[in-house]
Structure 1
Amino acid sequence: MAADAQSQDPTPSSPAPAVEAGAPPDFPPGVELYRTPYRNWTAELTAPALWACAPNSPGQVVEVVNWAWQHGWTVRARGASHGWAPLTITQGTPPDAPLLLVDTTAHLTDATVESIQPGTVRAATGISIEALLTLLEGSGLGLTASPATGDITLGGALAIDAHGTAIPALGEQRPAGHTYGSLSNLIVELTAVVWDADSGQYVLRTFQRDESACAALLTHLGRSLLTEVVLRVGADQRLRCVSRTDIPATELFAAPGSPGRTLESFLDASGRAEAVWFAFTDRPWLKTWTVSPSRPLLSRQVTQPYNYPFSDNIPQPVADLVGTIVANAAWYLAPALGAAEFSATNLGLAATLSADIWGRSKNTLLYLKSTTLRYATCGFTVLTTRSQVQQVVHEFATYYSQSLDAYASRGRFPVNGQFDVRVTGLDVPADCGVPGAQAPLLSTLRPDAAHPAWDTAVWLDVTTLPGTPHAEEFMRELEQFLFQRYDGTTAQTRVEWSKGWAYTAAAAWSDQTVIGTQLPAAYGPAQWAQASAALDQFDPHRVYSNAFLDVLLP
């Protein structure tokens, strides 16, 4: 699911005249300028009042970027705030920082379906994923998979290679215009504001997917600013989404080759699956999506997204328990919270008749609103072969469960959320239909040329309430287990850019060995250096950067 470097506050303050002292000097006339607070998804990264603007066209974006360069300011794109990592601002950013948020959601939201066969859509980067999918649906088009939250911006999703959950079921052929990888892999063309050495200024430049210069911009982590993209899309699909809560974790995450209802068996049958395992419970919430052109007899047809209101709107018993835990530092109630969330899921599925639903892809793929519980989340990915997926999931789930029990035996409860697993394909460039297409250099799903057999990615997330004691220590141990177990020999650990990673025992995004050594190695030292150099060439004045990005991509 997807957080993002270009997606920030969904409800920015109403624009107000820039009259106070310290206002950006000589700001381009005609560009809406105002003060606004910044808050990321969990309110762990906040700033009380930063300068922001709302350009009404790509041309105004260029004006703003050139103004920032000439005046020594930085520019950070803002959309829907659904992110954890400090890719937009860093903690402690003061109100008087020479930093300008560029709101892409106010005006940069146009989109047009340009063709049906092959399917292409031209979209400004401030459009939301839900609005984009709605537009596609109206033309009989859609995506194989998408982030579960529809209010994130397209630009933000592309910045961090947002994804859903999908691999081909056994016997399934990839439909034209679709990919099992990230949204970044669907880009056919993109337009970005980049430095032009000949004119000595930032300009709009359009890149085609087969240009080597495009590769670093397909997933840029906030080190660039895209204004528009053309995406390859395919015919819409009807999906049946079935929820189950009756399978023990020991069966679903069993060792490979085990009989019964394993995650592998559901992937073989449907190709699309997500398992959510609430802390200290014994049965996960499993969702599977199956391509079903006709409505199955027992399925309820849905015509709108977000069909799990018990997940989007916190049930009162869960809300009360969360309030008690946070207000009284009653972290030992984590098992009770896990049980309450599992119970709410069971009751909610029955009460809303949503355990078996069917409809157009948008209406089953979008299922999470911003009103849900906002957990702090770590995110890691293991590139492997499809035949090893069950092994990876089994090993991680076993380590996670044993570690959680070991902490609990010492009176420590670092996790009060859940463990979530999704499985996707990789970013195969040919999926976009452009001969010679480049792979996104910094995408977590970029294939490893040295290991062509690795065709699948396992996404592993663990969530907990912000401020939970010992959480960072616990996440660090999970991360180190993954980097040591899947070190590039038989499989490769990478990270989910928008979430928590590079843990020390005290904080995320802080382990300099992970940041400076393990990540470049995991993504390929040559490719990492190529991406960093290209992004620096397009932005030599580091207008699109912050203190954290200066370390991550020096």
Structure 2
Amino acid sequence: MSLKLLVLFWICLTPAFGDQFLNELRADTWADRLASFPSQILQSAVGTFSNSSGVPSGCGKPPNFPLGITLLSSDFLNWSELLNMRSLWAAEPETPEDVVTLANWAYKHGYSLRPRGYSHSWAPLTVTPASQCSRTLIVDTTKHLTAMRMLTNSSGLHAPINVLTQTGASWEDLLNYLESKNLGIFSFPAVGKMTIGGTLAVGAHGTGFPTRAAKLDTGFRTGDAVVWDYKKNEYALRTFTRLQDEDMRAFLVHLGRAFITQVSLMVGPNYNLRCQSITNIRADALFSRDHDNENALANFVENYDRVEAQFFPYTDRTWLKLWTEEKVKSGNALTIDKPYPYTHGRQVFRPADRLISLLASGITRLTPVISRMTYEIGVSGVALTRTADVWGPSKNSLLYYHHLAHKFVSLGYNVVTSRANIQKVVNLCYLFYSRLSDEMATKGMWPMNQPLEFRITGLDKVEVMEINSTKTTIKPPALSFLSEIEGHPEYDVAVFFGLHYFPGTPNTATFMKAWESFLFTNFNGGYATARVEWAKTWGFDDDNSWVNSTVFNQILPATYGSEWNWAMAKLDEYDPHNIYSNEFLQKLTLPLH
């Protein structure tokens, strides 16, 4: 945490709520609180995984390991630091051909290959607590599989512009590379240190409406995957082309059941974005049922290219970000020449961040105070840095959360609906979230200690492209939570909800189970349908996430209709020996009967 933020932290301890804060501290026994925290939180003394040349404890070296490919001991620590697997074997392939070698070695020796990027996830899609070092090989894609280059066009100046990138490259590196050539991409995640391969695994997303924002024909066009070759009876590299191979739709969101080494993306001219922050709209106005209210969130969606809103629980405070494409800077906007302009999204001092996390999750009665404090610190940071109104190349305001910023756990769902129903969906969710928070607070439970996030975006629809005077139909990814839903041509938007909380906060599973029940009851295929975000937490029972069999085996697959079984069959077809899997995926990727 920067010195400015530390100063702001103490400034916010004003008499208005500083006395309450200090009284709550005195009311609790720190030793008892700390002793009750999950051990994995206290053990996470590092912010990323570490590598060593040592031998994992209790694990012999993988037999007959291919010569020439680096093999070492490595920890796996996901972004929230709740999944911390010590001393697994990891390989660092230098070429796609090395991945082929590893795949065939894994097949012959009964190992699972688990590709790893920057581990920005919550769900155990890479490894699980049950993963055995004697049968699991991490494949680190970030060390060498990072090359990128522009593809030359042989069809004239108006032919599509494509970039070829290996999947261990990060979005931030790719966007910097494209920006140096005055090129850009329409939509991408807000965290720059996520790999292209990780995005393909989980369908990580940005936000926006192409019909209103910068019109860039972008998207994945080809992909090189290591798949089973039935003629050679071994794993081999194969290039899939989206214009010709419908099967590529199964690889564009594959949940970790495939290994993609290289992709090409269609890109376009870069553009400038202005991002304005509004922090003085009350929650009951922004999330009201009245669509005619000028401060209703849906009205901002109609008038701006991209919209994000945050609600700070146990307060009436919100933070609204509004993006518009503007070629020339207007007003008093601050020109930004690098990403992560906001203080709350920058790299923090990890010990201070963990202290705040322990404080919030351990003394939960402080939650209303900390929620208000989070808002005040954010608003003060914007004022101090003059970032309430910023302008510059597109990536600089769309990349706004550093991978080493404040850590939290996130439940992610989206509700697919029509534009006309955006405000109705937002209002129902806001009211239920607030009512459930208040009800649990009366029982001494405060599970939600981070802002509730809303984002609205367009869908992945069937696309008709004209390339070299030829019209081609391209279908969306089969397992994308932003894909169209069978039988609902009226659906054209998705409303994302991010429910965030500090690791170790008690009673979160109770809250999340109730939230999921609310979503599935109210958005079950009528005017709206709820879907999960693959990389986040979901499928709750009273104690844990990813354990509710009804969500796994019935509700979740049903939201994809016939696409679910089609995708499961294709992923099995190209990996019949199940080398790209783990215990969690074996439960998740079953056909719907």
TM over 0.5: yes
Identify the match of residue 441 of structure 1 among 462, 475, 478. 478
Change (3 A) 1:216 1:362: same
Shift of 1:15: 4.9
Mapped to 1, the partners of 2:441 and 2:213 lie a distance apart of 46
Shift of 1:91: 2.0
The answer (yes or no) to whether the contact 1:47–1:92 under 8 Å persists in 2 is no
The answer (yes or no) to whether the contact 2:457–2:495 under 8 Å persists in 1 is yes
Identify the match of residue 124 of structure 1 among 166, 191, 201. 166
Residue type of the alignment partner of 1:298: N
Change (3 A) 1:553 1:317: closer
Identify the match of residue 30 of structure 1 among 54, 68, 77. 68
Residues 240-265 of structure 1: per-residue CA shift (max 9 Å, x gap): 00111100011111114232211112
**1:282 is the counterpart of 2:316:** yes
Identify the match of residue 450 of structure 1 among 464, 487, 509. 487
Q: Please, which moves more after superposition, 485-494 or 67-76?
A: 485-494
1:102 match: secondary structure: strand
Q: Please, which moves more after superposition, 335-344 or 308-317?
A: 308-317
Shift of 1:497: 0.6
Shift of 1:332: 1.3
Residue type of the alignment partner of 2:215: P
Identify the match of residue 71 of structure 1 among 86, 92, 109. 109
Shift of 1:311: 3.4
Residue type of the alignment partner of 1:156: G
Residues 436-466 of structure 1: per-residue CA shift (max 9 Å, x gap): 3232000001112311110111111101112
**1:550 is the counterpart of 2:586:** yes
Q: Please, which moves more after superposition, 15-24 or 221-230?
A: 15-24
**1:460 is the counterpart of 2:497:** yes
Residues 397-441 of structure 1: per-residue CA shift (max 9 Å, x gap): 111011111111111101111100111111124277671323200
The answer (yes or no) to whether the contact 1:232–1:432 under 8 Å persists in 2 is no
Map of 2:445 onto structure 1: 412
- Any unmatched runs of 5+ in structure 1? 1-8, 179-185
**1:535 is the counterpart of 2:571:** yes
Shift of 1:17: 6.5
1:215 match: secondary structure: helix
The answer (yes or no) to whether the contact 1:119–1:177 under 8 Å persists in 2 is no
Map of 1:509 onto structure 2: 546
2:250 match: secondary structure: coil
The answer (yes or no) to whether the contact 2:183–2:267 under 8 Å persists in 1 is yes
Change (3 A) 1:487 1:539: same
Find the structure with the greater CA-based Rg: 2
Shift of 1:136: 1.2
Shift of 1:297: 2.2
Map of 1:154 onto structure 2: 196
Mapped to 2, the partners of 1:159 and 1:27 lie a distance apart of 26
Q: In the comparison of the two structures, how many residue pairs are matched?
A: 533
The answer (yes or no) to whether the contact 2:343–2:378 under 8 Å persists in 1 is no
Residue type of the alignment partner of 2:228: W
Change (3 A) 1:436 1:476: same
**1:244 is the counterpart of 2:278:** yes
Q: Please, which moves more after superposition, 397-406 or 304-313?
A: 304-313
Residue type of the alignment partner of 1:127: A
The answer (yes or no) to whether the contact 2:210–2:216 under 8 Å persists in 1 is no
Map of 1:139 onto structure 2: 181
1:336 match: secondary structure: helix
Change (3 A) 1:146 1:19: closer
The answer (yes or no) to whether the contact 1:42–1:84 under 8 Å persists in 2 is yes
| Identity level (%) | 37
2:76 match: secondary structure: strand
**1:322 is the counterpart of 2:357:** yes
Mapped to 2, the partners of 1:227 and 1:469 lie a distance apart of 40
Mapped to 1, the partners of 2:161 and 2:426 lie a distance apart of 35
Shift of 1:314: 4.8
Map of 1:354 onto structure 2: 387
Residues 23-45 of structure 1: per-residue CA shift (max 9 Å, x gap): 01111100000000101111211
Mapped to 2, the partners of 1:300 and 1:235 lie a distance apart of 22
Residues 482-515 of structure 1: per-residue CA shift (max 9 Å, x gap): 1110101221111111001111111111110011
Mapped to 2, the partners of 1:550 and 1:331 lie a distance apart of 36
Q: Please, which moves more after superposition, 289-298 or 9-18?
A: 9-18
Map of 1:520 onto structure 2: 557
The answer (yes or no) to whether the contact 1:188–1:432 under 8 Å persists in 2 is no
Residue type of the alignment partner of 2:588: L
Shift of 1:148: 0.8
**1:332 is the counterpart of 2:365:** yes
Map of 1:83 onto structure 2: 121
Change (3 A) 1:62 1:432: farther
The answer (yes or no) to whether the contact 1:10–1:80 under 8 Å persists in 2 is no
Shift of 1:173: 6.8
Shift of 1:114: 1.9
Map of 1:266 onto structure 2: 300
Residue type of the alignment partner of 2:284: T
The answer (yes or no) to whether the contact 1:321–1:337 under 8 Å persists in 2 is no
Q: State the TM-score, normalized to the length of structure 2.
A: 0.86
The answer (yes or no) to whether the contact 1:136–1:142 under 8 Å persists in 2 is yes
Mapped to 1, the partners of 2:352 and 2:373 lie a distance apart of 7
Identify the match of residue 177 of structure 1 among 200, 211, 217. 217
Map of 1:469 onto structure 2: 506
Map of 1:423 onto structure 2: 456
The answer (yes or no) to whether the contact 2:447–2:501 under 8 Å persists in 1 is yes
Change (3 A) 1:85 1:343: same
Mapped to 1, the partners of 2:480 and 2:464 lie a distance apart of 15
Q: Please, which moves more after superposition, 273-282 or 529-538?
A: 273-282
Shift of 1:233: 1.5
Map of 1:231 onto structure 2: 265
The answer (yes or no) to whether the contact 2:48–2:77 under 8 Å persists in 1 is no
